[in-house]
Amino acid sequence: MNSQQPLDPRDLGRVHFIGMGGAGMSAVARLLLARDVAVSGSDAKDSPGLRELESLGAHVFVGQDAQNVAAADTVVVSTAIKDENPELAAARESGLRVLHRSQALAAAMHGRHVIAVAGTHGKTTTSSMTAVALRAAGLDPSWAIGAHVADLGANAGFGAGEWFVAEADESDGSFLAYHPQIAVVTNVEADHLDHYGSQEEFFRAFDEFSATIRDGGVLVACADDPGAANLAARRRAAGHTVVTYGAAATADVVFSEPVPRGTGSTCRLAFTVAGERRSEELMLAVPGAHNVADAAAAFAAGLAAGADADRLLAGLADFHGSARRFDLKGEVGSVRVFDDYAHHPTEVLAALGAARDVAQDHRVLAIFQPHLYSRTREFAEPFCRALEQADLACVTDVFGAREQPEPGITGATIVEHTSTDRVVSTPGADEAIAAVVASAQPGDVVMTIGAGDVTALGPRVLEALEHRR
């Protein structure tokens, strides 16, 4: 991925987005419209998201055709857009500037101080928390996040302040485009090996990311995660400013005494401001130890941005989550159904841990849809170990997304590693729903987990629970 300095949005001319209806592309389009850039875009199907962009001034095409780029100066694509796409092919034939989504986002951020939040897990929540906390602190940030954030009203927005909070995606190396003033690394744990080829290359990408921090900038890194801690040590040894956070007593921002409270949690934060060491209670409206860690990261980033500590704490207390992150879908007969985007073993373990905190003495039931054949193959046993933390985990067929099926790799590949009857293979959605609903009792928590279309099952579970009554 090109790590050159970001373009000025005034130099882009008319910008056309291929696949503008997607969450990531629509966010960048929204931001460029806010900067008075002429925007057009297409998608294969109409959607409310497209019509919302149209209401903001974008020219919308439903369907993709070479003629749609005729008036464009710059064309924006994501990794999902194939070379044979007629609009991309026409753009290249005409010699138009073609940018990856990350480069267009970097242009949208031009002139602002960037806080880029990276890491294998926790990017969305940490960047959401950071933006919400900075707003509460009166800094009026801009933001671009990979999910709708209810407290912000959208997945992207342009504020009047000098800071811009961006979720920085490492999956295809695109996080090298942002050149942040503050970089947050929540953890560095191998993933996306279909792109990087090896763990070593994946880890090297984070060193490259830290090298894009602007002169005088700050790396905020988790002291509890070996990958992030080692990155921080290397960065500090090279003479750069590093702020660490974590449960480790050696961290600059230390969280301790985490206590679950219903669907929320509390902990204590110890930190230094103006040479004075302070300890304050942090109250959160979201559950789970992972959210405590993400809040500490957001707090550390906020301090690095110069925000008032007390106002940051108040802002974090008012954070109510982002879409598909322990997202309550409803309740029937005292059975609560949540949806979560977790698609890596560590994330699944964290989501189930949060569910356990909420369920207390009741049971946790899960429907898990593996995402990508390559990830299922690489992490089958760790997925199984994570899912064994549920009282019942139904594993569906793999959501292949951009990948073609691999012979012998299915949801059952995960189940093969269990020695209990708590993790079971339910290839079809109907089978998984039936199993969970048959088992659910008042007080239980049901989780739908995965990055694919498993998110659509929550309402169906609720409907089935209603019919059972």
Active site residues: 123-124, 167
Instruction: Tell me how far apart the alpha carbons of residues 225 and 126 are, in angstroms, rounded to a whole number.
Output: 15
What does each C-alpha distance from 358 to 109, 281, 338 come to in angstroms? 38, 20, 11
Count other C-beta atoms under 10 Å from residue 140's C-beta.
Answer: 14
How big is the chain by its Cα radius of gyration, in Å?
22
Instruction: Tell me how far apart the alpha carbons of residues 25 and 156 are, in angstroms, rounded to a whole number.
Output: 10
Residue whose structure tokens are 């694919």: 452
Residue 135: both structure tokens together = 């707003």
Largest CA distance in the chain: 64
Percent helix / strand / coil, the chain, rounded to 5: 40, 25, 35
Sign, CA torsion 52/58/60/66: negative
What does each C-alpha distance from 41 to 31, 88, 96, 110, 324 come to in angstroms? 14, 12, 15, 21, 26
Contact 213, 206 (CB under 8 A): no
Q: Nearest CA to 326 among 122, 183, 158, 131?
A: 122
Contact 426, 435 (CB under 8 A): yes
